[in-house]
Homo-oligomer: A and B are copies of this chain.
Amino acid sequence: MKRLTIKDIAAKSGVSISTVSRVLNRKEEGMSQETREKVLQVIEELNYQPNLFARGLITKQSKLLGLVVPNIQNPFFPELCRGAEDEANRHQYSLIICNSDDNAAKEESYLRLLNEKQVDGILLSSGDNLSVLTEKQLEYGNTPFVLMDRGGNSGKYNSIFVDNEKGGYLAGRHLIELGHRKVACIIGSKNLRNSNERLAGFRRAMMEVGMELPDDHIINGEFHIEPAYKQSKEFLENKNVTAIFTCNDLMACGVYQAASELGMKIPDDLSIIGFDDIPLVSALIPKLTTIRQDIYNMGRRAAKMLIDHIEKGENDIVIFEPSIIVRGSTKAI
């Protein structure tokens, strides 16, 4: 079946191509009601679907947005992606998904590709800090963008973040209020900003009550299950703590495994509090107490910010408030 073109519609309606184009683009001022209806009827009769390439050349809009995330397989990002897609769809935009693997060269290459595809805007969850490559491409590309969750919160760009420091503080307060005085923190990695901010907030809660977090109670779990499992198992075999804060939920899963193998009961022998509130945690027994980021709504809000920027030139920086969700993995001692 040959694809119908605007020419076919024009011929069948007995009007000019430019008249059909005006109807398709809703620029019908001065056109008779009769003409307009005739064209619309033919469009319906022939079940015509407009060629968005041609329309894109006229409107300079692709109605496409790019979404660049490190990896959709990390359970944080499907939530963010779904929020962004729902909001984009509500405004007639479609979302192109790209997985950068936290690789600056791959990220930059995707940004260049999205630019070539003439996307109207880009949602970017970058590496921890924007790489020079990425920043250069963003500025050169001249395509509107919003940074999400990562990529530096320097205040320079439209962006959306959770207040990581406050989240860490909430985790610390919770453990202190439950009476815990011997605690440890499993961090993402020494130079990850998100992780460092969560640790700083956790420490602030300790300091408020004159507690210290010894350096050897800060464990690098690399934000993943396996390293968190190994490191926390070794730690728990040698040190005596009553509670652990993990800077994300995945690492809490690793601590559950370590505790189970060491015969420690959660929360009787060990309290655990996580960060993120990804759906994964509903599989844990007992269910995980955690610091919640409203990931889905961060995705929606980021898409809305981007569209407002594209359509109205608005700029914004939004900080989401974290909250604590108390479930079964923490207990007063």
- Contact check, A279 vs B118: say whether CB atoms are below 8 A apart: no
A2 to B, closest residue via Cβ: B142
Q: Does A162 contact B (CB under 8 A)?
A: no
A285: which of B47, B89, B285 is its contact (CB, 8 Å)?
A: B285
Closest beta carbon of chain B to A285's beta carbon, Å: 5
Closest beta carbon of chain B to A281's beta carbon, Å: 8
Binds B, one of A35-43, A52-60, A237-245: A52-60
Closest beta carbon of chain B to A261's beta carbon, Å: 9
A258 to B56, CA, bound (A): 55
Q: Mark A260-285, 1 if CB is under 8 A from B, else 0.
A: 10000000000000000001101111
A1 to B257, CA, bound (A): 55
How many copies of this chain does the complex contain?
2
- Contact check, B282 vs A49: say whether CB atoms are below 8 A apart: no
Closest beta carbon of chain B to A119's beta carbon, Å: 9
Binds B, one of A12-20, A79-87, A164-172, A208-216: A79-87
**Please, which residues of chain B bring their CB within 8 A of the CB of A71?**
82
**Please, which residues of chain B bring their CB within 8 A of the CB of A283?**
225, 253, 256, 280, 283-284
Q: Does A129 contact B (CB under 8 A)?
A: no
Q: Mark A217-231, 1 if CB is under 8 A from B, else 0.
A: 000000001000000
- Contact check, A142 vs B1: say whether CB atoms are below 8 A apart: yes
A280 to B74, CA, bound (A): 11
Binds B, one of A91-99, A179-187, A188-196, A318-326: A91-99
**Please, which residues of chain B bring their CB within 8 A of the CB of A256?**
283, 285
Closest beta carbon of chain B to A81's beta carbon, Å: 5
- Contact A81 to B97, CB < 8 A, known contacts A283-B225, A283-B283: yes
**Please, which residues of chain B bring their CB within 8 A of the CB of A253?**
282-283
A118 to B57, CA, bound (A): 14
Interface residue tally of chain A, by bracket? 35 or more
Interface set, chain A 52-74, CB cutoff 8 A to B: 52-54, 56-57, 62-64, 67, 71-73
- Contact check, B53 vs A142: say whether CB atoms are below 8 A apart: no
**Please, which residues of chain B bring their CB within 8 A of the CB of A3?**
142
**Please, which residues of chain B bring their CB within 8 A of the CB of A142?**
1, 3
A36 to B49, CA, bound (A): 37
A3 to B64, CA, bound (A): 18
A73: which of B78, B95, B117 is its contact (CB, 8 Å)?
A: B78
Which A positions have Cβ atoms within 8 angstroms of B?
1, 3, 47, 49-54, 56-57, 62-64, 67, 71-73, 75, 77-79, 81-82, 85-86, 89, 94-99, 112-118, 140-142, 225, 253, 256-257, 260, 279-280, 282-285
Q: Shortest 9 CB-CB distances between A and B: which pairs?
A: A53-B56, A253-B283, A72-B78, A97-B97, A94-B96, A260-B285, A53-B53, A53-B57, A78-B78
Q: List 25 A-B contacts (CB under 8 A).
A: A3-B142, A47-B140, A49-B112, A49-B141, A51-B57, A51-B118, A52-B116, A53-B57, A53-B62, A63-B117, A64-B96, A64-B117, A72-B82, A73-B79, A73-B279, A75-B75, A75-B279, A75-B280, A225-B282, A225-B283, A253-B282, A253-B283, A256-B285, A283-B284, A285-B285
